[in-house]
Structure 1
Amino acid sequence: MLPPLTAHAPPARGLFVAFEGGDGAGKSTQARLVAQALQGRGLRVVTTREPGGTTVGAAIREVLLHGEHVAPRAEALLFAADRAHHAATVVRPALAAGAVVLCDRFMDSSVAYQGAARGLAHAEVRQLSLWATEGLVPHLTVVLDVDAASAVARRGKEPDRLERESLDFHERVRAGFLALAEADPGRYLVLEATRPPRQLAEAVLAALEPQLAQVAADQGAAS
């Protein structure tokens, strides 16, 4: 289990939320529903994803998810390369402008997939992401928890390279996410992913409520 990221504070401006969980957990659905709710309040929202939130990232995503076998260390480096470019060109500029950034996957996915599931050193995988993003961490990480067998039925009909891994692999991924949340509960919101999507979105919004007033004030002052 990794220690909390006590030396790394979230950005001073904007609001950065990462949605994490195994394949089929419903991360993109939650990002969409929360974005719609926040936009309904008049807030500026940027929704993005990893890998593939940039043109460079889209090329990396193709290799990672739709290519042939990728060695575990190469896989970790490719995810970190995508994250470095994504943080520098999308996430940090949006936060600096005071936006709410909702990201489908961030560095915890690397710790869970390449660390817990591939067997690489967890601390090294996380440090690679911290170096790539210059220490960027979310204000809140939402972990959508679902067991591997249930998640299979929630996925698309054509699984990608990582989705085709064994149930044991995906259970290790799940355990990796839960261990991260247990070690640093102040940064995480763990939700049962099989709950109705709108109930989940309401729970995320409730967790964000204390910070949304300041975000709205900052965005209003900047406009």
Structure 2
Amino acid sequence: MFGLFVVVEGVDKSGKTTVVRELYEALSKNYPVKKISFPDRSTAIGTILDKYLKGIVDMSPEATHLLFTADRYEKKREIEELSRNNILICDRYSWSGITSTVAKGIDLGWCLETERLLPKADITLYLEADIEVISRRRGFGDEVLETTEIQHKIKDCFGQMRDYSENVVVLDATKSVEDITAIAVKHVLRCLEKKNQINSV
């Protein structure tokens, strides 16, 4: 079996981590599955990002973006290896980094260029969420990007990202976790089947 790189994206508190967990559990019954998440706050770069997200340190938008991107590049080889023969599910990836930077007024083209050499997702599952709803969820506001104003801007940027990505599936975050997971599983398996057919020719 050829592997698959699945990315789950969405604004903060849209349910990404829950969907990743449920998708992992559902697919693990019949397939080899691994998961990864960003940012990785355990690394040297990740500890700086953790301090930034918690408002302990401040950095320019460009410097912040490059650190988030570097965090992903540190896992480049791991992503390539894990997605070779497994379904690799990723909680946040390039979209999250790019949208949070563009929301601060930085050029989209520059952000895209910094991500150019990273592994591309085979399928991106985007959780479409209402900002007013997610702003009432527990923990919203704990980190610097978690304001309704910033999240509205980030959501608008997510809309732009669809034009720069292939195989994007939009999931309604207001649906039940069970419904979202069922739809996600269907699309992931369809993508996996298509990839295996292409690679077996």
- TM-score (norm. length: structure 1): 0.79
**Secondary structure of the residue that 1:130 maps to in structure 2?**
coil
Aligned to 1:49: 37
**What is the CA-CA distance between 1:149 and the residue it aligns to?**
1.6
Q: Any conservation in 2 of the 1:53–1:86 contact (CA below 8 Å)?
A: no
Matches within 5 A, 1:1-223: 13-41=2-30, 43-52=31-40, 55-56=43-44, 58-66=46-54, 67-88=56-77, 90-96=78-84, 98-115=85-102, 117-131=103-117, 133=118, 136-156=119-139, 159-163=142-146, 166-181=147-162, 183=163, 186-213=166-193
Pair 45,64 (structure 1): closer, same or farther in 2 beyond 3 Å: farther
Q: Which amino acid aligns with 1:161?
A: V
Q: Any conservation in 2 of the 1:39–1:45 contact (CA below 8 Å)?
A: yes
Pair 57,86 (structure 1): closer, same or farther in 2 beyond 3 Å: farther
Q: Which moved more, 1:71-80 or 1:150-159?
A: 150-159
Q: Which moved more, 1:183-192 or 1:72-81?
A: 183-192
CA distance in 2, matches of 1:94, 1:160: 30
Q: Any conservation in 1 of the 2:2–2:196 contact (CA below 8 Å)?
A: no
Q: Which amino acid aligns with 1:120?
A: I
Runs (4 or more) in structure 1 with deviation over 6 Å come to 214-217
Write the deviation string for residues 34-65 of structure 1: whole angstroms up to 9, x where unpaired. Answer: 00001111x22111111017634542442332
Write the deviation string for residues 127-157 of structure 1: whole angstroms up to 9, x where unpaired. Answer: 10124x2xx1101111111122211122426
Equivalent residue pairs, number: 196
**Secondary structure of the residue that 2:24 maps to in structure 1?**
helix
Q: Any conservation in 2 of the 1:147–1:171 contact (CA below 8 Å)?
A: no
Measured on the aligned residues, the alpha-carbon RMSD in Å equals: 2.4
State the identity as a percent. 23
Q: Any conservation in 2 of the 1:51–1:60 contact (CA below 8 Å)?
A: no
Write the deviation string for residues 162-181 of structure 1: whole angstroms up to 9, x where unpaired. Answer: 22xx3221111011112222
Write the deviation string for residues 167-196 of structure 1: whole angstroms up to 9, x where unpaired. Answer: 221111011112222x25742011111110
CA distance in 1, matches of 2:167, 2:177: 22
Unaligned runs of 5+ in 1: 1-11, 218-223
Q: Any conservation in 2 of the 1:16–1:138 contact (CA below 8 Å)?
A: yes
**What is the CA-CA distance between 1:118 and the residue it aligns to?**
0.8
Pair 92,53 (structure 1): closer, same or farther in 2 beyond 3 Å: farther
Unaligned runs of 5+ in 2: none
